Structure 1
Amino acid sequence: MSSHFSTEVTFAPLEDDAIIAYTRKELLRGGPVDTACRRVLSSSRASKDPGMSLLRDAMLSLSTIFFGKQHKQPKISNRGYHLYGAVLARLNLHLAQSEFQTTNETILTVLTCNLLEIFLPTGKNNFLKHIRGLETILTMRGPPEQPLSDEEHTIFTGLRLLLIVGGLTMSTPTIYARDRWKALPSKTEDDNGQVRRSIMNILADCTCLRSTHDAYIRGDFGAYQFLIDESKSQYERLEILHPIWVAINKAEGGDATPPSGKAQMANQNCATTYMLYNTTVICLMNILNSLKPSPRHESLRTGAALRIAKCLEWKQFQRDGLDAEGNTIGFVAVRVAWTVLGGFETPEGRKLARVVRSVVNDIFAVGAWEGDPAGSPRIDPGSPDRIMWVDDVTEPW
């Protein structure tokens, strides 16, 4: 019977809602964009609310591109990119109207565009434009007042890591480094959630350190000792959290210090928090090592990068079961570790590339590597968003 049916997936028979539901399941579980998906799927297509209409089209553009990429259907992906261009044009007009500038729908629309540029990029570092926009919108809106609605809590906690990463990339202090924003509760307030929030706050402070570090590079030499002292202080704060994480991981069935030397993660949450911890170690050591190079700083950087790689390699740490925050933490951690390990120039970097390909099914690989100075996979000129992985790497790790 199969000979009577085409195996090619086409867009025509599929409803928009099915495309969105597919992307929600595969890429956007949990977090603010999952909230946006629910709102879009429950709203009427005939709604005259301009905010909801724009949010629906933004979600549909991301979902259509993702669906087309996953099923290797460039016509579907191109349809999504065309829609995305129209969304950006409408978003600029939308933001020019004061009554729409800081609404939840506007924030969710910009966030959806941001995730599209992270996972399915249209150009190098385009996601930073959306991060700058989100920082501006949240600054205008002001710190969240307690108590928060469930939707507001999901939005503000979901934005935290993205804006911190943007601040680190641009060497600009993020609003999440301010006390009132640091007080925002985590997505979950269990022990693991509290540890993750503490790590996030340290990482947010790193955006301020990066900004001061850039000022030092430009000639503000009076900042040297402050940077040394503050970076060491932040690292001491971070170290205090490690035994707490070890205890949580052990209580939930893992073992961070087994006789074999191979740490066992209890679950996805523990693994994600551990990747975030080691990402923060690298950020702090990058600053310290640039100011005061030492074998210890370099050893801590490399060790953290290898732990991120091993954590990703852990066979149960897969895309299945990860929420949007877990996917984003994984994306950031892998990018940072990739740079430290030297990309394809080292056996460790090549090993990490193979693990990324096998574990995350190209979700991170689509946009994580292009333009990285440490060395990148080759880009297929016939499809700029697809990676041509090197298959002849055989070095053991």
Structure 2
Amino acid sequence: MSLWMRHHAEDHSSSSGPVCVRALGTLFFGRAHCQQDITTMGYDLYGQALISLNTDIQDAETAWSLSVVKSAMVLELYEMIAFNPASGWLKHAGGVGRLIELRGPWRHQPPEARRLFEATRQLIALESLAKRKRCFLESSEWKTIPWALEPDSKLNIYYLHDILCDIPGLMEDANMLQSSELSPEDFTTHHTVLSENIFSCLKTLYEWRVSWQRQNPDSCWEVLSTELSRSAGTQALFPIVFQFTSLPAATDIALYNAVLLLLLRLGFQVIGPQFDFSLAISSPQDINYGPLIPPGLAPDARSVAIEICKSVDYHLVDDRRGAGAFFLLFPLRVAWQALHPASPEAVWLKSIMSIIADSTGFEISRGLTRNDVIQATD
């Protein structure tokens, strides 16, 4: 349990804090230890937590508080473990996003509020991705104001989150191109603008990757695969896998590859087979990327997905499996989408998703190889 969650369990400034944390902890323990009676208690506590959170939101004194945001974040994690119904996590991600948006970027300048904002920003963006709807986090004020008092506190990974927050808007614009109401002139204009925006976003992503490598040299190397890879299939699909200097380094690269896959898919969808994603950057020659693919040089989307697959062993080693699995969920989903569903790699990934669900309690992992989980309706 994270430090902020421990504090929230003892926070009585709002009524929802303790019961939300109890619901999450009870469900997690029941799922992790296959104790159905304890799991059922977690379900019961969840009902109480929803009522309590709703009461806090309707209270003028607590509705804007950081405590209410924390309670909503706790229930967001609860839904990722419960994963019933399938869209539950989306509703809570949207709820957290709405609370954050109503509070405004200035309320997230104090260190504690900023750290919570940083912790939930990716999930808010994923909710918008799932709906293919523009995210309020794409605006410049949400990318600058929370860090304005301490600019150096904005870490490299948060600039990658900036790019992720732009993609839902690109998806919405791509959907608009398919509208029958557009005149040929409007279609041409929108198509040109969107194509330029996709290239611009891809260029920013590649520049981020170059900057990251300069700051993290020699951060990845190849090793023999572990028993985990072989347990997920009848053959060792990846006899050589990646080792990293740290979990943050591994999760940074996995998220970068996931964002890259989303942009490649958009590029081919909007621009077509002539989309040349290598043109977005002239990669510096003085940087050694080790076994990782340099920006702009991936031969295809499949090779990017395979790079994510080769990081699974590192993420899921016992001493970092919980955190590693959590940060790997989204990249694995995007990698699976980039592969043919009947391919050995996709079948292997599906097995890995089940291993994550069984060993960490994140039941949502098992559902990530279903097409409807990321295609929620409003």
Same fold by TM-score greater than 0.5: yes
- Checking the alignment, whether the CA contact within 8 Å between 2:56 and 2:63 is kept in structure 1 is yes
Question: Cα RMSD between the aligned structures?
Answer: 3.2
CA deviations 1:26-46 (Å, max 9, x no partner) are: xxx4xxxx40322324x5xxx
Partners of 1:218 and 1:36 lie apart in 2 by 45
**Which residue number in structure 2 is paired with residue 366 of structure 1?**
363
- Checking the alignment, whether the CA contact within 8 Å between 2:128 and 2:134 is kept in structure 1 is yes
CA deviations 1:219-259 (Å, max 9, x no partner) are: 443421211111111111111222333333325x5348xxx
Q: Does 2:140 align with 1:179?
A: yes
- Checking the alignment, whether the CA contact within 8 Å between 2:357 and 2:363 is kept in structure 1 is no
SS in 2 for 1:93: helix
**Which residue number in structure 2 is paired with residue 232 of structure 1?**
199
Partners of 1:112 and 1:67 lie apart in 2 by 15
Deviation of the 1:113 alpha carbon: 0.8
Change in CA separation of 1:359 and 1:249 when aligned onto 2, cut-off 3 Å: farther
Partners of 1:217 and 1:140 lie apart in 2 by 32
Partners of 1:138 and 1:309 lie apart in 2 by 33
Partners of 1:336 and 1:82 lie apart in 2 by 33
Unaligned runs of 5+ in 1: 1-23, 377-397
Unaligned runs of 5+ in 2: 223-238, 278-297, 374-378
Q: Does 2:90 align with 1:128?
A: yes
Deviation of the 1:119 alpha carbon: 2.6
Partners of 1:359 and 1:367 lie apart in 2 by 9
Q: Does 2:268 align with 1:306?
A: no
Q: What does residue range 318-337 of structure 1 map to in structure 2 within 5 Å?
A: 318=317, 320-321=319-320, 327-337=325-335
Partners of 1:236 and 1:242 lie apart in 2 by 10
**Which residue number in structure 2 is paired with residue 7 of structure 1?**
none
Partners of 1:84 and 1:146 lie apart in 2 by 27
Pick aligned residue for 1:338 from 321, 328, 336: 336
Change in CA separation of 1:351 and 1:200 when aligned onto 2, cut-off 3 Å: same
Aligned length: 329
Partners of 1:367 and 1:267 lie apart in 2 by 25
- What TM-score does the superposition give when structure 2 sets the normalisation length? 0.77
Partners of 1:375 and 1:347 lie apart in 2 by 22
Pick aligned residue for 1:55 from 17, 27, 33: 17
Partners of 2:108 and 2:19 lie apart in 1 by 31
Q: What does residue range 126-205 of structure 1 map to in structure 2 within 5 Å?
A: 126-145=88-107, 147-149=109-111, 151-183=112-144, 184-185=146-147, 194-205=155-166
CA deviations 1:156-177 (Å, max 9, x no partner) are: 1111111111111112222221
Q: Does 2:29 align with 1:39?
A: no
Q: Does 2:258 align with 1:279?
A: yes
SS in 1 for 2:217: helix
- Checking the alignment, whether the CA contact within 8 Å between 2:109 and 2:147 is kept in structure 1 is no
SS in 2 for 1:122: coil
**Which residue number in structure 2 is paired with residue 209 of structure 1?**
170
Deviation of the 1:358 alpha carbon: 5.0
